[in-house]
Chain A
Amino acid sequence: MQDVREALYVGSRSDGTLIRRPMSPHLQVYKMRLSMFLSISNRITGVAATAGSALGVAWLAALAKGPKSFASARRITAHPLGQLILAGWIFSLVWHTVGGLRHFIWDAGQRDDKKSVNEDGPVAVGVIAGVGVTLAVALLGVSCCRAHGRAKLRKAS
């Protein structure tokens, strides 16, 4: 018995032998609702955002190391797969930020009843989709245009 919480599962038969009591079904008996999905997705996007930030630190380290390693980092971020990962990072950051802002509202004691939570969920989804897509497209688009412009300028000179 490793976890003290396990102690609460111990029961005994009438003859005194100890048994592990069965766990009642919990997750599987509920239909997935938007509030549940947004709750767990806040955690998942938090982990994804951390993974992306780790890559961001790798980018900073490449920048600090010198032009050669920065060029390698640039090759990765310019690759379609790298662009997809960057978009995913932006999206999970936006998602986690919106989730966090909702937590701030709840912590202030606002909009935390069942009705408000169900009303705000779709709004959160809309904000995430709108801001996420706009930010990802705009940032990646601006970077791509500028990189192409610079490359053309270099070729011309």
Chain B
Amino acid sequence: MNAPVSPRHDVMRSQLGRARGLGSGHSGTGHWIAERVSAATLLPLSGWFVVQMFRLGGADYEDVAKWGGKPLNATMLSALVISSFYHAEVGLQVIVDDYVHGKAHVPAKFGVRFVTGLLGLLGVVAVLKLALGRPASKA
């Protein structure tokens, strides 16, 4: 593992010169605050969701669909979905930053944003459909 590997120079500039001054990207604080704010938002929303699940667990399709179609429930649900996946996006990005190095770093970060974004969007679209349009029921 510690066998001498001759490092390759891509540029004329010394490696230390390339690394110096890269200590801060000058955007870390915003990311940190975003993580905390979304976490704080999730606390009451998750509490609400737990209460709703106690009321709803094991209920029939009609009851659950009716529940999701109510404006207040739909608002809370979409707020929960948006904050959940925003918080997930912000948190998973830090994990990628810490553990995924080299060529895979940028694709992994992009993948995290893509997947969490799509999942959040799917949740919101599902809630909107429940709230705004009657699902296609055969009955």
Residue positions of A touching B, CB distance < 8 A? 1-10, 17-20, 22, 43, 46-47, 49-50, 53-54, 56-57, 60-61, 63-67, 70-71, 93, 97, 100, 103-104, 107, 135, 138-140, 142-150
Contacts and interface: CB of A to CB of B under 8 A. Distances in A.
Given A60-B127, A148-B58, 10 more contacts: A7-B19, A47-B95, A53-B84, A60-B68, A63-B130, A64-B130, A64-B135, A66-B136, A139-B53, A142-B54
Size category, B interface = 35 or more
Interface of B: 2, 4-10, 14-16, 18-19, 22, 36, 39-40, 43, 46, 50, 53-54, 57-61, 64-65, 68, 77, 81, 84-85, 88, 91-92, 95, 101-103, 105, 116, 119-120, 122-123, 125-127, 129-130, 135-139
Contacts of A67: 61, 135, 137-139
Given A19-B6, A150-B60, A138 B54 contact: yes
B126 to A, nearest CB: 4
Contacts of A65: 135
Contacts of B36: 103-104, 107
A63 B136 CA distance: 11
Most buried by B among A7, A19, A57, A143: A57
Contacts of A70: 61, 64-65
A71 B91 contact: no
Contact of A150 (B40, B58, B116): B58
B15 A10 contact: yes
A110 to B, nearest CB: 15
Contacts of B43: 97
A100 B129 CA distance: 33
B68 A63 contact: yes
